């Protein structure tokens, strides 16, 4: 008998790793190794090797990775950066914090990635960069977005904060998302596919000049012990977290495979429910299912029903960014981004973590079906 299905279950994920974490923590305490140093360098090397990208800079969060990317690319006051209207707030707020102006762009309903036709319309002489997002772990139309950026001589930042390990077919083999743009940004927030036991993030790039700037910017603008080139941030990835992440990186592919399998169960078991449409669709590459959602017009009622059955569900995200109070000054209005608005009002995200059993997924789908049969 199932009483509860958790949305994310870090306790279950970490249970077999507790003794490795404890040994590592002990080593850090005994060596007094807390800030930068060997463990951060090792994880940067391992993460960049995993992705097949030249450089990686560990920072304190995905938000910081986005801010440092913008600063490293030389964003200046008032310059525009095109971002999707449907994503986590940091994709756009990082632009504001770095002095730029976010310009919103609609998304595709099936992939949740940036709509390239709308993107083309949003480019002006003031556009400095595009930040595309691989939302829910699903690759967006990155090859086309890259082509558009190159043609218009604008920088491309990939927000891969939800997409560790997602990949796209490129020149006959696979290439990881986050490695196509000038910069790729990752979050290690604990519930991410690769999560630390605290906040954390990473900026990756294949360009040495960006790497060098980012290294300086993450450490107070420091170029040597007591010399600071320009004002910088204090956003160094914790040494202890870098070691924890190194342990978890070994399991990333296995965990992603399990997520994909679970997504497959949802698709199969909900196939015959006409009231729900599963997103995202894998159109441009392999999704790592950080999240999976259903689009349904009776979202709020279904949410309450599933909660009453012990099923933890979420809404990622209930409001598109152009309607958030923090972007009111940009003067967008309801109706400006119809797809983003539709998804925000009809998306429901379902439990998805590597240790969910078939029995649990069957129970969730059974309750979804029950809700719709009772509505007939």
Ligand X SMILES: Cc1ncc(COP(=O)(O)O)c(C=O)c1O
CB 362 within 8 A of CB 351: no
CB of 91 to ligand X, least distance (A): 5
Nearer of residues 140 and 302 to ligand X, judged by Cβ: 140
Number of residues in contact with ligand X, rule: CB under 6 A?
15
CB of 193 to ligand X, least distance (A): 11
Considering only residues 56, 130, 148, 161, which one is a binding residue for ligand X as defined by CB under 6 A?
Answer: 161
Considering only residues 24, 48, 72, 91, which one is a binding residue for ligand X as defined by CB under 6 A?
Answer: 91
CB of 32 to ligand X, least distance (A): 27
Nearer of residues 61 and 296 to ligand X, judged by Cβ: 61
Q: In 3-state terms, what secondary structure has residue 348?
A: strand
Nearer of residues 202 and 302 to ligand X, judged by Cβ: 202
The CA–CA distances, whole Å, from 293 to 138, 148, 281, 353 equal 12, 29, 10, 13
- Sign of dihedral through CA atoms 360, 365, 368, 373? negative
DSSP classification of residue 234? B
- In whole angstroms, give the CA distance from residue 133 to residue 114: 7
Per DSSP, the residues of 33-48 read --BSSHHHHHHHHHHH
The residue with tokens 């696979």 is: 174
Considering only residues 100, 181, 195, 201, which one is a binding residue for ligand X as defined by CB under 6 A?
Answer: 201
DSSP classification of residue 62? H
CB 252 within 8 A of CB 194: yes
The CA–CA distances, whole Å, from 347 to 279, 293, 318, 350, 353 equal 9, 6, 8, 10, 18
Nearer of residues 111 and 367 to ligand X, judged by Cβ: 111
133 in contact with ligand X (CB under 6 A): yes
| Cα-based angle 326, 330, 331 (whole degrees, multiple of 5) | 110
Contacting range for ligand X; rule: CB under 6 A; set: 44-52, 83-91, 114-122, 339-347: 83-91
Pairing mode, strands 277-279 and 55-59: unpaired
SS3 content of the chain, % helix, strand, coil (to 5): 45, 20, 40
Nearer of residues 199 and 286 to ligand X, judged by Cβ: 199
Considering only residues 159, 182, 219, 341, which one is a binding residue for ligand X as defined by CB under 6 A?
Answer: 159
CB 229 within 8 A of CB 220: no
Considering only residues 24, 138, 162, 243, which one is a binding residue for ligand X as defined by CB under 6 A?
Answer: 162
88 in contact with ligand X (CB under 6 A): yes
- In whole angstroms, give the CA distance from residue 90 to residue 317: 13
145 in contact with ligand X (CB under 6 A): no
Nearer of residues 87 and 340 to ligand X, judged by Cβ: 87
Considering only residues 24, 39, 69, 187, which one is a binding residue for ligand X as defined by CB under 6 A?
Answer: 187
Considering only residues 52 to 71 of the shown chain, the ones binding ligand X according to CB under 6 A are: 61-63
CB of 196 to ligand X, least distance (A): 9
239 in contact with ligand X (CB under 6 A): no
Q: In 3-state terms, what secondary structure has residue 290?
A: coil
138 in contact with ligand X (CB under 6 A): no
User: Which residue ranges make up the site for ligand X (CB under 6 A)?
Assistant: 61-63, 87-88, 90-91, 133, 159, 161-162, 187, 189, 199, 201
């Amino acid at each position: 008998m199932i009483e509860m299905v958790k949305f994310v279950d870090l306790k279950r994920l970490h249970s077999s790793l507790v003794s490795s974490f404890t040994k590592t923590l002990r080593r850090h305490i005994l060596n007094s190794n807390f800030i930068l140093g060997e463990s951060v360098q090792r994880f940067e090397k391992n993460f960049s090797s995993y992705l097949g990208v030249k450089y990686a800079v560990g920072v304190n969060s995905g938000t910081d990775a986005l801010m440092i990317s913008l600063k490293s690319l030389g964003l200046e006051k008032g310059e525009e950066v095109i971002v999707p209207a449907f994503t986590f707030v940091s994709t756009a707020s990082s632009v504001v914090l770095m002095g730029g102006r976010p310009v919103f762009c609609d998304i595709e309903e099936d992939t949740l990635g940036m709509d390239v036709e709308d993107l083309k319309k949003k480019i002006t002489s003031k556009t400095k960069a595009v930040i595309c997002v691989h939302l829910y772990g699903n690759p967006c139309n990155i090859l086309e977005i890259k082509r558009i950026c190159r043609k218009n001589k604008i920088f491309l930042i990939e927000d891969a904060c939800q997409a560790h390990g997602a990949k796209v077919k490129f020149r006959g083999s696979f290439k990881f998302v986050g490695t196509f743009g000038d910069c790729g940004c990752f979050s290690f927030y604990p519930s991410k596919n690769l999560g630390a036991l605290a906040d954390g993030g990473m900026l990756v790039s294949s360009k040495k000049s960006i790497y060098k700037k980012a290294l300086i910017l993450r450490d107070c603008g420091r170029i040597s012990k007591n010399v600071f080139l320009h004002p910088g941030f204090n956003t160094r990835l914790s040494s202890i977290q870098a070691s924890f992440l190194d342990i978890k990186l070994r399991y990333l592919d296995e965990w992603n495979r399990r997520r994909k399998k679970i997504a497959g169960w949802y698709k199969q078991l909900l196939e015959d429910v006409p009231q729900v449409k599963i997103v995202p669709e894998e159109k441009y590459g392999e999704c790592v299912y950080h999240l999976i959602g259903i689009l349904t017009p009776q979202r709020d009622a279904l949410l309450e029903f599933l909660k009453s059955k012990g099923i933890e569900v979420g809404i990622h995200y209930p409001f598109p960014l152009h309607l958030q109070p923090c972007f009111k000054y940009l003067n967008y209005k309801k109706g400006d981004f119809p797809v983003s608005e539709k998804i925000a009002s009809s998306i429901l995200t379902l439990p998805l973590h590597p240790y969910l059993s078939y029995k649990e997924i069957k129970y969730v789908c059974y309750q979804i079906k029950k809700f719709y049969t009772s509505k007939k």
